[in-house]
Chain A
Amino acid sequence: MSKEMSVIVRTITRLTYVLTIVFGFYVIMHGHLTPGGGFQGGAVVASAFALFLVAFGTAGLKGRLNAHLLQSLEEIGALTFLALAFLGIGTAFFYNLLANSGTVFGVSVLPGPNPGLLNSGGTLPLMNWAVGLKVMTGIASILIAMLVGSRKEAAE
């Protein structure tokens, strides 16, 4: 699938993949308020990337992205997640230090159904971002590696 697909697929992809990415980021950002979270949003972004790869092939990346660059980003996501977990080590590993602290992401919420506040949840939104970055880059690098790997086989 290294070749481009037909003009219909390419046009539709150009129209939709940016929207899909935006929606994925929305899901990550509102993970502590609405259905979804880092994993789901990251998977949505990765699916946009998969669509792009199907439509344009690896040639469409123009050498700007490769599996190893994406994997480095994934490591940064994983390290951030680990660091956030270490943040609460004063009490215990994974202790939610920022929740109800009044600082960043530290607003308390009222019990019961309510519209929700973006600035709540303590370390949860940060972890959502870390995991979101990890999942989107991780799946993307798997996709590229497998595409390149199966193409090499075809060339032999």
Chain B
Amino acid sequence: MTFVGNLPFVVSMLLVCLGLYVLLFKRNLIKMVIGVSLVETGINLFLVTLGYRAGGVAPIYTYAPVGATQVLPTPQALTLTSIVIGLATTALLLSFAILIYRHYGTLDVTEIKELKG
């Protein structure tokens, strides 16, 4: 259990916490979308740091240095997938925010009936 050796993990988790904070305590729809995005980014960072091997290079053989250690490819593939999923959710959330703005003329959660709860 160490914070210093695991600094990259700790930093990505901090990013997740920041995103959660924004999502829970901000009252503007766009800021809430930014919060969701931050959580996503934090988790993507966490996934990518999982695959790092000390001194490793990218797992691509084209013109790779001979005999070098390569980092793990699976977390990179997972991150790629989750980035695209994050893009899709963000696009949909923003579309609904635009629609709500069109209906109410505001993005403030406290002025929108259903979202108060």
Query: Chain A interface (Cβ within 8 Å of chain B)?
Result: 33-35, 37, 39, 109, 112-116, 135, 139, 142, 145-146, 149-150, 152-153, 156
* Residue of B with least CB distance to A142: B91
A113 with B101: in contact, given A39-B84, A146-B94, A149-B95 (CB under 8 Å)? no
On chain B, the residues within 8 Å of A116 by CB distance are 61-63
On chain A, the residues within 8 Å of B50 by CB distance are none
* Cβ contact of B98, chosen from A34, A114, A135, A149, cutoff 8 A: A149
Question: Cβ of A112 and Cβ of B61 under 8 Å apart?
Answer: yes
Q: How many inter-chain residue pairs (CB < 8 Å) link A and B?
A: 42
On chain B, the residues within 8 Å of A153 by CB distance are 98, 101-102
Query: Chain B interface (Cβ within 8 Å of chain A)?
Result: 58, 60-66, 80, 84, 87, 91, 94-95, 98-99, 101-102
Main secondary structure on B side of the interface with A:
helix
A76 to chain B, nearest CB (A): 19
Question: Cβ of B63 and Cβ of A113 under 8 Å apart?
Answer: yes
Q: How far is the CA of A34 from the CA of B59 in the complex (A)?
A: 10
Question: Cβ of A146 and Cβ of B95 under 8 Å apart?
Answer: yes
B98 to chain A, nearest CB (A): 5
* Cβ contact of A115, chosen from B58, B62, B94, cutoff 8 A: B62
A112 with B62: in contact, given A150-B98, A153-B98 (CB under 8 Å)? no
B97 to chain A, nearest CB (A): 10
Q: How far is the CA of A140 from the CA of B71 in the complex (A)?
A: 33
* Residue of A with least CB distance to B92: A142
On chain B, the residues within 8 Å of A33 by CB distance are 60, 62
Q: How far is the CA of A9 from the CA of B101 in the complex (A)?
A: 29
* Residue of A with least CB distance to B68: A113
Question: Cβ of A34 and Cβ of B94 under 8 Å apart?
Answer: no
* Residue of B with least CB distance to A149: B98
Q: How far is the CA of A115 from the CA of B94 in the complex (A)?
A: 43
A34 with B66: in contact, given A146-B95, A153-B101 (CB under 8 Å)? no
A44 to chain B, nearest CB (A): 14
* Cβ contact of B66, chosen from A113, A115, A135, A149, cutoff 8 A: A113
On chain B, the residues within 8 Å of A139 by CB distance are 87
Kindly list the 3 A-B residue pairs having the minimum CB-CB distance in the complex, ordered from nearest.
A113-B64, A116-B62, A153-B102
On chain A, the residues within 8 Å of B63 by CB distance are 113, 115-116
* Cβ contact of A34, chosen from B60, B65, B80, B95, cutoff 8 A: B60
